[in-house]
Amino acid sequence: MAVEPPTGPLKVLLWTTGRSLSNAFLQCMTYVPDTIAWHEPYSQLGKFSNVVEGPAVSKTVQELVKTLGGASAVAKIESGYDASDKDYDWLKEQLESDLPDGKRMLFAKAHGAYIRRFSLFDKLPQGFRHTFLIRNPKATIMSKLKMSLKLQARSVKLPELPRDQFRIYEYLIELLKYLKAEGLESRPIIIDADDLLANPKEMLEAYCNEVGIPFTEDLLTWPAGDDVMTKMWMTPKQTILTFGVMGFAETTFACTGFKKKPVSTFDANKDDEFLKQFPPAALEKVKAILEKEMPFYEEMYRQRLTVTK
């Protein structure tokens, strides 16, 4: 049952995973009138500060420029914050603060597994609606493999990932249960990315109605280009710089709507020329990850919001 539109400011967290249309969804929500949009507040802060253990780079914007280049990209950055001197207490305070005059919604998309991986449950903000965007891990892992080859072609050395990096849906389920048990969210809304691509208008309208976001068909498309990140999103300036220098912005911000495309899914038993580029041992590891992840994803999938067209 849909909720009544809020009479006061609305705060929404979208918990999600990588390669699940989450940046597209955040772009869409950014253009809801009078909205402040936060991009991956927990994981990006952790990446560019010393607040968690793991592959943090702990570099100021100036240090990143020396390492990556991109001095011209810095000049474009009009939004965001320097994460090198911030921590999660600062983040929680920011998220819980009153919205500036004239703003009616704060919308943040965040990687849910990160909360469990680094035990950040006590840093979750009060006063938010909690929603989830999921996607079949067989599709997201193929997308990650394709990205890894692109980065490899650019001679990018990736940091060694934590051992539990791929326990995505297991940790999302734990977050979902925690939110309910602690009274932070009594009725979490779950949507699936492929449902959204199949029926963008119907799914987006249903999501907005459930959460209390005013829906118009104007939300189905948005401008191309990285202005949304460089001028509008709250995210570390280091993240904005990295997106620009590494070329992530080229594909991420070319998207202007939820458009259905053919989706590749991982199948180690299929004769796939793309997968032949990876060592057999790596493919066996991916196969084992999927065997563990799929039951957790399917549990969330059964609870998702659906529409009839």
Per-residue pLDDT at 214 exceeds 80: yes
More confident residue, 233 or 138: 233
Of the chain, the percentage scoring pLDDT greater than 90 comes to: 60
pLDDT at residue 6 tops 70: no
pLDDT of residue 159: 45
Q: What is the pLDDT at residue 53?
A: 55
Per-residue pLDDT of 53-98, as tens digits, reads 555 554 778 888 777 777 777 888 999 999 988 999 999 999 999 9
SS3 assignment for the chain: CCCCCCCCCEEEEEEECCCCCHHHHHHHHHCCCCEEEEECHHHHHHHCCCCCCCCCCCCCHHHHHHHHCCHHHHHHCCCCECHHHCCHHHHHHHHHCCCCCCCCEEEEEEEHHHHHHCCCHHHCCCCCEEEEEECCHHHHHHHHHHHHHHHHHCCCCCCCCCCCCCCHHHHHHHHHHHHHHCCCCCCCEEEEHHHHHHCHHHHHHHHHHHHCCCCCHHHHECCCCCHHHHHHCECEHHHHHHHHHHCHHHHHCCCCECCCCCCCCCCCCCCCCCHHHCCHHHHHHHHHHHHHHHHHHHHHHCCCCCCCC
Roughly what angle, to the nearest 10 degrees, separates helices 280-301 and 137-153? Answer: 140
Structure tokens at 287: 């196969």
Give me the mean pLDDT over the 195-204 stretch. 96
Write down the pLDDT at residue 261.
74
Is the predicted pLDDT of residue 45 greater than 70, yes or no? yes
Q: What are phi and psi of 134, to 5 degrees?
A: -120, 165
Q: Comparing 280 with 36, which gets the higher pLDDT?
A: 36
Inter-axis angle of helices 168-181 and 280-301, to 10 degrees? 30
pLDDT digits (tens, 9 = 90+) for 229-247: 999 999 999 999 888 877 7
Least confident of 163-167, 190-194, 288-292: 163-167
- Here the tokens at position 183 are 């009274």
**Dihedral, CA of residue 72, residue 61, residue 32 and residue 102, to nearest 10:** -110
Residue 269 has pLDDT above 80, yes or no: no
pLDDT at position 162 over 50: no
Banded model confidence at residue 158, pLDDT cuts 50, 70, 90:
very low
pTM: 0.91
Dist. CA 211–CA 291, nearest whole Å = 33
The predicted-structure confidence for 109-127, as pLDDT tens digits, reads as follows: 999 999 999 999 999 999 9
pLDDT at 3 over 60: no
Judge whether residue 175 has pLDDT over 90: yes
Mean pLDDT value across the chain: 87
